[in-house]
């Protein structure tokens, strides 16, 4: 590629087509910016903006109140001893794995863990054992499986795993495992537990201490109405010295964060959205009610919701034999659903999917949810009449 | 901290005071957004925005043309075989160190390396040897020192270091070391060389192959008119399989990137600014002329520029005995300079500094530079008359 005018014209400003659609992609519903965050983004957009006010440690900046946010507000929000901002949930997980375990150590993941948990462990050179789930249709993580896997590892390797992790909720079915029981089990073996709250922190009330979480992970761009990449990490005091250890040569720099992480606008968007985020977690039960209402509307159409039932989260996985059947005959084949939805300005069910798909109802609102459910109904009617 | 209304009111939208000042902080001059990037930021601000178009690999997204940007435009721009986007220069460096070296291995850094190079090596569990510089006033990195240090290491440990690095230019004096000679020396020992171009990529023409760089690192928020955190990494084909190795379980996910890095707006700002960035690197010699002109204006006032002379970069370090002397008597003491500059809407010399400070003239423009030099003159006159 020669970087001449013709080539460069491809870059520059590019409009975002999905911007004005109703977005039910689980990745997107909790990351939509508030009005305040959009303003913060423009105000703090330039390069390293926040570093204008830095004396060497990003999370100790007093004005704007990043220190107060990271060292007071976030720990309170998560109910954890200490907190930091990171580049995202996966980077939080890697940081914990890399500091808590040594190459070759074992860690335990739930089988439903996000791929980035597996990859983070691989990057840290760790071995992985998984705790199974119950399979179709509930996909429930086997809580006692944590004890079984830890027992197995002790028997085989002579020592307990360095860390266990549970995904709360998992990113496929939106199931909320019984973390309290899992942490009790793990702690019996002195195995610290990391809770991946990528889909919970910023959506629903989270209390790390009540859950017995030694580490709590959140994703700003996924669930805290923040512009990515940004995440949070809460750590129990007991492990803070390990995870937040300082450089031997540069006394105020934390090694795992390479000195500092989010040196730019994302932290200002997280702070800008924070009042809204706190408030919306307090209204979580309305979100659960919306999810259940939507699930039952789809079930009436023959689209079956998998996972916990009644469901306790906005992230839901559906099995839709009725749509699959239509796709077999439809002119656009398996793309018919995506096209129909697109025409209705509904975005988020991946192009080509019909039989299985996931979606999120978070912050979509009852009126839009009704419109989406009606759209499903309309589409099914239309194709069934044609068929 | 209780998260009540009073506490939450501290967050929300917070204005950026330094926004309208002339900013000569070296961290800031190259990261200022273009008009296009500001628009892209607002357009793509929401959470995970770009992931709407992702089939599982961020840098393979076709629309918007992230794939073309990462896999064609960036390699061309850097003249390197393969490129990726990362969270920043330090994350690029850690990625290379972590994949190229094993815990306990040695790497070689120039003594002038940024703290984040040291911390990245520490995070990867590596041992560090440094190549000295010539000290005051030139601070020239001892090119032959690379051979000496490598020889020493071979003698002491029985093997060559896993990697060498040079900072181009260094972040204190803006000195441009003779990288071509350094790479020749390193390659004689089969030691790959990483060039930290945090202050060059996006400012001046960079040709990794011509420099003999096996790895080239850039910082988007520092030098590519991008909203942070974002960086770039260019890699020679020979090492691409190591640095970009894939997960054994998740075949399309690159382990060192935890699957993907900049899943949000920053990459869209980098793409939006890219045409401008390409163009400005072609006008680099005007920037060098501006830097030299500014340097000589300050030298006329008794403020001495350290480092390469005549200077070849916009980042400059000054020693100002005249300002230090004033600070000894001034009412505001060592804060007088900051206050006087602030009154004149000039930001970027750290509060409290008078005797030594660094600044950058990049993209400031001759007119503003004249205003800044005149301001120095005016301030010195004013205090000398008072004294
Ligand atoms: C359960 C779960 N955890 C973690 C992640 C990754 O989040 P982040 O992008 O903040 O690393 C995802 C992303 O989809 C997820 O679904
Ligand atoms: C020479 C040099 N390298 C690297 C960095 C770090 O850049 P980034 O924030 O992209 O990691 C800096 C930051 O000041 C620097 O001066």
Residue A71 labelled as part of a binding site: no
Tokens 């520059």: give the residue.
Answer: A12
Nearest-CA distance A25 → chain B (Å):
8
Nearest-CA residue for ligand 2 atom 16 is B171
Contact at CB, B72 and A1, closer than 8 angstroms: yes
pLDDT at A387: 72
Provide the strand spans (E) within chain A.
22-23, 82-86, 106-110, 127-131, 163-167, 193-196, 215-219, 231-235, 304-305, 315-319, 346-347, 356-360
* Residues 6+ away with beta carbon under 8 Å from A382: none
Ligand 2 centroid distance, CA of A47 (Å)? 12
Contact at CB, B47 and A33, closer than 8 angstroms: yes
Which residues sit opposite B215 in a β-bridge? B194, B235
- Chain B residue with Cα closest to A49: B28
Domains by residue range for chain B, with CATH: 8-30+284-386 (3.90.1150.10), 35-280 (3.40.640.10)
Ligand 2 centroid distance, CA of B20 (Å)? 24
Residue A208 labelled as part of a binding site: no
Please list every protein residue whose CB sits less than 6 Å from any atom of ligand 2: A 263; B 27, 88-90, 114, 116, 167, 171, 196, 198-199, 219, 222, 231
Nearest-CB residue to B248 (from A73, A122, A248): A122
At B171-199, the pLDDT tens digits run 999 999 999 999 999 999 999 999 999 99
- Across chain A, mean pLDDT equals 97
Ligand 2 centroid distance, CA of B190 (Å)? 27
At A95-135, the pLDDT tens digits run 999 999 999 999 999 999 999 999 999 999 999 999 999 99
User: In 3D, which of B196, B193, B162 has the Cα closest to residue B180?
Assistant: B193
User: In 3D, which of A289, A296, A297 has the Cα closest to residue A313?
Assistant: A289
Nearest-CA residue for ligand 1 atom 1 is A171
b/e burial code for range A143-154 (CB count within 10 A of at least 16 → b): bebbbebbeebe
At A251-307, the pLDDT tens digits run 999 999 999 999 989 999 999 999 999 999 999 999 999 999 999 999 999 999 999
Ligand 2 atom closest to B93 (CA) = 11
Distance between CA atoms of residues B236 and B192, nearest Å: 10
Instruction: Report yes or no: B205 and B312 within 8 Å, Cβ to Cβ.
Output: no
Nearest-CA distance B95 → chain A (Å):
10
Q: Is A145 in the pocket of ligand 1 (CB under 6 A)?
A: no
DSSP code at position A12: S
Ranges of residues in chain B with a pLDDT under 70 are none
Nearest-CB residue to A258 (from B94, B256, B275): B94
pLDDT class for A59, splitting at 50, 70, 90? Answer: very high
pLDDT at A303: 98
pLDDT above 80 for A154: yes
Contact at CB, B73 and A11, closer than 8 angstroms: yes
Residue A213 labelled as part of a binding site: no
Residue A102, classed as helix, strand or coil, is coil
Which of A1, A6, A13 should one mutate to test binding to chain B, selecting the residue with the greatest count of B CBs within 10 A? A13
pLDDT at B17: 87
Ligand 2 centroid distance, CA of B116 (Å)? 7
SS3 annotation, chain B: CCCCHHHHCCCCCCCCHHHHCEECCCCCCCCCCCHHHHHHHHHCCCCCHHHHHCCCCHHHCCCCCHHHHHHHHHHHHHCCCEEEEECCHHHHHHHHHHHHCCCCCEEEEECCCCHHHHHHHHHCCCEEEEECECCCCCCCECCCHHHHHHHHHHHHHCCCCCEEEEECCCCCCCCCCCHHHHHHHHHHCCCCEEEECCCCECCECCCHHHHCCCEEEEEHHHHCCCCCCCEEEEECHHHHHHHCCECCCCCCCEHHHCECCCCCHHHHHHHHHHHHHHHHHHCHHHHHHHHHHHHHHHHHCCCEECCCCCCCCCEEEEECHHHHHHHHHCCCHHHHHHHHHHHCCEECCCCCCCCEEEEECCCCCHHHHHHHHHHHHHHHHHHHHHC
Using a CB-CB distance cutoff of 8 angstroms, which residues of chain A are in contact with residue B262? Answer: 228-229
Query: How much is the pTM?
Result: 0.98
pLDDT at B18: 82
Q: Is A88 in the pocket of ligand 1 (CB under 6 A)?
A: yes
Contact at CB, A88 and B263, closer than 8 angstroms: yes
Ligand having the closest approach to the CA of B90? 2
Contact at CB, A42 and B38, closer than 8 angstroms: yes
Using a CB-CB distance cutoff of 8 angstroms, which residues of chain B are in contact with residue A32? Answer: 46-47
Nearest-CB residue to A3 (from B65, B73, B269): B73
Contact at CB, A15 and B43, closer than 8 angstroms: yes
């Amino acid at each position: 590629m020669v970087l001449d005018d013709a080539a460069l014209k491809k870059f520059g400003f590019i409009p975002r087509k999905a911007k004005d659609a109703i977005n039910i992609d689980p990745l997107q519903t909790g990351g939509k910016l508030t009005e305040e965050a959009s303003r913060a983004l423009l105000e703090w957009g330039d390069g390293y903006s926040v570093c204008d006010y830095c004396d060497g440690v990003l999370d100790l900046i007093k004005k704007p109140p990043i220190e107060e946010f990271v060292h007071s507000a976030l720990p309170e929000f998560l109910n954890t001893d200490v907190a930091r901002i990171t580049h995202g949930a996966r980077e939080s997980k890697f940081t914990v794995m890399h500091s808590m375990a040594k190459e070759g150590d074992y860690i335990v993941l739930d089988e439903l863990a996000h791929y980035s948990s597996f990859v983070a462990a691989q990057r840290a050179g760790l071995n992985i054992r998984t705790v199974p789930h119950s399979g179709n249709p509930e996909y429930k993580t086997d809580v006692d499986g944590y004890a079984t896997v830890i027992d197995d590892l002790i028997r085989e390797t002579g020592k307990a795993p360095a860390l266990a992790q549970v995904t709360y909720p998992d990113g496929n079915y939106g199931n909320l495992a019984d973390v309290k029981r899992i942490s009790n089990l793990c702690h019996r073996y002195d195995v610290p537990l990391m809770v991946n709250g990528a889909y919970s922190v910023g959506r629903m009330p989270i209390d790390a201490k009540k859950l017995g979480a030694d580490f709590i992970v959140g994703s700003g761009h996924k669930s805290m109405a923040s512009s990515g990449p940004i995440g949070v990490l809460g750590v129990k005091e007991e492990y803070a010295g390990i995870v937040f250890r300082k450089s031997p040569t540069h006394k105020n720099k934390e090694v795992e964060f390479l000195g500092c992480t989010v040196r730019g606008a994302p932290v200002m968007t997280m702070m800008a959205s924070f009042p809204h985020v706190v408030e919306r977690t307090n209204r979580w039960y309305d979100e659960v009610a919306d999810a259940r209402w939507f699930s039952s509307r789809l079930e009436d159409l023959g689209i079956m919701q998998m996972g916990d039932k009644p469901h306790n989260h906005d992230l839901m996985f559906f099995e839709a034999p009725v749509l699959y059947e239509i796709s077999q005959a439809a002119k656009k084949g398996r793309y018919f659903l995506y096209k129909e939805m697109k025409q209705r300005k509904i975005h988020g069910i991946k192009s080509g999917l019909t039989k299985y798909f996931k979606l999120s109802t978070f912050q979509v609102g009852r009126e839009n949810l009704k419109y989406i459910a009606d759209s499903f109904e309309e589409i099914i009617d239309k194709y069934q009449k044609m068929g």
